[in-house]
Amino acid sequence: MEAATVNGRCAPGFEGVRSAFEENFREHREVGAAVTVILDGEPVVDLWGGRADAAGSRAWERDTLVNVYSTAKGMTALCAHLLVDRGELDLDAPVAHYWPEFAQAGKEAIPVRWLLSHRAGMLAPREPLAEGRAYDWEYVCDALAATPPWWEPGTAQGYHAITFGYLVGEVVRRITGQSLGSFLRSEITGPLDAAVFIGTPAGEHPRCADMVGQLSPRQLGARFPDLPEAPVGAIADHPRAAVTLALTYIPTGDVNSAAYRTAEIPSGNAHATARGLAAVYAALVGGGLVGPATLEAMRRSQSRPDEPDLTLGALTPEGTAAAFRWGLGYMLNDRGQAGPNRRAFGHGGAGGSYAFADPENGLAYAYVMNRFGGGTSGEDPRSRALVAAVYTALAAVRGRP
């Protein structure tokens, strides 16, 4: 394979991150990617390289955007926390206080907190939606408002892979009068000049890289041949029932299409540069977005000790529900995917993208790519290698073992 061209810079002491980035192209079949690290408000790593499409006809440029799947959830959650910080949103108030139609089918008392921590039992509508319906915001929200929870709210946690963005996004819309993507641009990414979009304008589409090798529902079924067929009657019907509900009941269509890129699916279709994502997390670390109390609350565990996640646990080959801790819209760092500081927090996306904040070290990190790899919570070996190199360099430049 022809060696990929890597562009950008690393500050003195961070050269090992460049080596790890280059190694990903040689050893992990990277197609195109970028990684940015901001330390104490200054970029110390800003690299990009490879190709923006499967054919290799377009180079990955400094401003290339790419779909980051669920890494978008970190941006969506931040919109809610900005409203909390301003006193406009109470996480312990019922969702129905802001969204009256939500008070149907036993959901009258569900607090906003449970939307952010995947405890609401709202994995999907009761029946799978038709192809293309994911792009109709009001239709999806009306369907969710009418849906009974799949388990008693608050008693269990299960990753709301697609519905998270509609549920949190509709609360934001009811408070602000703006769609989630518009609020994100007007209040956060626009003022920061950060290239992160949920609902990417058509004029930005030429900058978008194509995803390569992403899983379709059919391929998901091939990976997990015991996946139950829709419609699922109840969570208890099958060990992988939550996966079917969470990943297939709201089909999002071709992720390389103009319709997908333009739509707002705040759980999973942000298009971003690594530089843009890192800039948002750096502003969070630096205190420029929310106050200290809100920042601390964002990363406080909402899970019981050793509590399994009904969706993510069922995605293991064995189908066992492994323990997983959620903050308020963020993945916590129990597995060290965000380095040695267990108080770091962020969100990963299907295929391998990952972004996080490490407030104690004044560090923000983002990695994006277009070859669909493994995992959704920062455990992809490409990101793992980059994070390890970042913290090795950080220890050296700060003179710590």
How does residue 400 score in pLDDT terms, banded at 50, 70 and 90? low
Per-residue pLDDT at 1 exceeds 50 = no
Phi–psi pair at 296, nearest 5 degrees: -65, -40
Q: Classify strands 6-10 and 32-39 as parallel, antiparallel or unpaired.
A: unpaired
360 touches 40 (CB < 8 A)? no
pLDDT at 196: 98
Structure token digits, residue 178: 């703006």
Domain tally for the chain? 1
From CA 377, how far away is CA 347, in angstroms rounded? 6
Asked whether residue 192 is domain-assigned, the answer is yes
**Mean of pLDDT values over 315-322:** 61
How does residue 377 score in pLDDT terms, banded at 50, 70 and 90? confident
How does residue 218 score in pLDDT terms, banded at 50, 70 and 90? low
Asked whether residue 1 is domain-assigned, the answer is no
**Mean of pLDDT values over 175-195:** 98
From CA 260, how far away is CA 252, in angstroms rounded? 7
**DSSP code at position 178:** S
Per-residue pLDDT at 318 exceeds 70 = no
Residue 145, domain CATH? 3.40.710.10
pLDDT at 226: 79
Does the global pTM surpass 0.75? yes
pLDDT at 23: 97
pLDDT at 239: 85
Q: What is the pLDDT of residues 51-96, one digit of tens each?
A: 999 999 999 999 999 999 999 999 999 999 999 999 999 999 999 9
Q: Which residues pair with 126 in a beta bridge?
A: none
Q: What is the pLDDT of residues 90-136, one digit of tens each?
A: 999 999 999 999 999 999 999 999 999 999 999 999 999 999 999 99
Provide the residue range defining the domain that includes 134.
6-397
**E strand residue ranges, 160-290:** 196-198, 270-272
Per-residue pLDDT at 170 exceeds 70 = yes
Q: What is the pLDDT of residues 237-263, one digit of tens each?
A: 888 899 999 999 999 999 999 999 999
How does residue 147 score in pLDDT terms, banded at 50, 70 and 90? very high
Asked whether residue 25 is domain-assigned, the answer is yes
Would you say the C-alpha torsion 47, 50, 53, 54 has a positive or negative sign?
negative
Asked whether residue 135 is domain-assigned, the answer is yes
Q: What is the pLDDT of residues 6-35, one digit of tens each?
A: 999 999 999 999 999 999 999 999 999 999
Q: Classify strands 354-358 and 363-369 as parallel, antiparallel or unpaired.
A: antiparallel
**Mean of pLDDT values over 267-274:** 97
Least confident of 143-157, 173-187, 319-333, 379-393: 319-333
